[in-house]
Amino acid sequence: MAKFPSLWLLVVMLLVSPARADDLDWQLYASLLDEYSEMREIEGLNLRWVDYTGLGSDPRWRAVIAMLERTDPSTLSGANAKKAFYINAYNILAIDLVLKHWPVESIRDIGSWIRPVWRREAGKIAGEPVTLHQVEHEILRPMGDPRIHMAIVCASLSCPDLAARPYRGSALEQQLDHQTRLFLSNPKKGAAERGEALAISKIFDWFAADFESGGGVRAWLRRYGVMSEADTLRYLPYDWRVNGS
């Protein structure tokens, strides 16, 4: 059973002065990850499963959203701090979109063909509305680090798993390397031999250009231990069902 803080503590958390991103404390988000996510096997797929029903009823989640709303990213002290902040922000906002529409079978059901979920307002950062598209394509991808694709999570079964802990600038290099290896070692959604072919996530198809600076997808995969003599690359089916219940 989750332990809720007293009302006065929630009020203090929501009303404190605007947070400086270089001083940002992710402990509340870390606690919620501990309480409402866990490793499970679903239909033969190992993944971090999210208890959306429980999380949505915990008032501390609104405090996490309020923290994003009042945080000014211009106060970030360095490139890694900024990258860590926006990875966490993407994951939090994707979760919150699902919570706002819960129950939902897929995050894509929140949007439409004309206006997909990625281009709908997901929340606010520093008081300004943002979309998941903006965070991913206009902020994170231009940073030139393709490992972000192993860290941002669009609330779907075939996405990389949520990290067990929030990303932090001081530990980001190790965290991203760990998360990348973890994803690639998952044969159901990362990479696996399939007969004469190497089957890999559709992420490497959708964002192939992001891996060119590292010699292309194959070279990048080898760097992270995916060694294959297969001549053919194929892509694993992408399961967009929501990664929780």
What share of the chain has pLDDT > 70, as a percent?
Answer: 91
d(C-alpha 48, C-alpha 244), whole Å: 8
Is 88 part of a structural domain of the chain?
Answer: yes
Size (the chain), residues: 245
pLDDT confidence tier of residue 1, bands split at 50, 70 and 90: very low
Tokens 């010699």, residue?
A: 215
Round the average pLDDT of the chain to a whole number and report it.
92
Q: Residues 35-62: pLDDT tens digits?
A: 999 999 999 999 999 999 999 999 999 9
Q: Is the pLDDT of residue 17 over 70?
A: no
pLDDT > 70? residue 148? yes
Residue 179 lies in a domain: no
Report the domain count for the chain: 1
- Report whether pLDDT(244) > 70: yes
Domain that holds residue 124: 10-159
Confidence of residue 3 (pLDDT cuts 50, 70, 90): very low
Residue 224 tokens read as: 């992270």
Q: Sorting pLDDT into bands at 50, 70 and 90, what band is 13?
A: very low
What tens digit of pLDDT does each residue of 104-132 get? 999 999 999 999 999 999 999 999 999 99
Q: The whole model's pTM is what?
A: 0.91
What does the alpha-carbon distance between residue 164 and residue 167 come to, in Å, rounded to a whole number? Answer: 9
**Could you tell me if residue 216 is inside a domain?**
no
A 10 A CB-CB count for 64 gives 22
Residue 213 lies in a domain: no
Cα separation, 184 vs 204, whole angstroms: 11
- With both helix axes pointing from N to C terminus, report the angle between 172-184 and 79-100 in degrees, rounded to the nearest 10: 50
DSSP string, 50-87: E-HHHHHT-THHHHHHHHHHH-BGGG--SHHHHHHHHH
Give Cα separations from 145 to 64, 164, 185 (angstroms): 26, 21, 20
Q: How many CB atoms lie within 10 A of CB 148?
A: 24
In a domain, 4, yes or no: no
The yes-or-no verdict on residue 71 having pLDDT over 60 is: yes
Task: Tell me if 234 is assigned to some domain.
Answer: no
Query: How does pLDDT run across 168-211, given as a tens digit for each residue?
Result: 999 999 999 999 999 999 999 999 999 899 999 999 999 999 99
In a domain, 84, yes or no: yes
Kindly state whether residue 185 falls inside one of the protein's structural domains: no
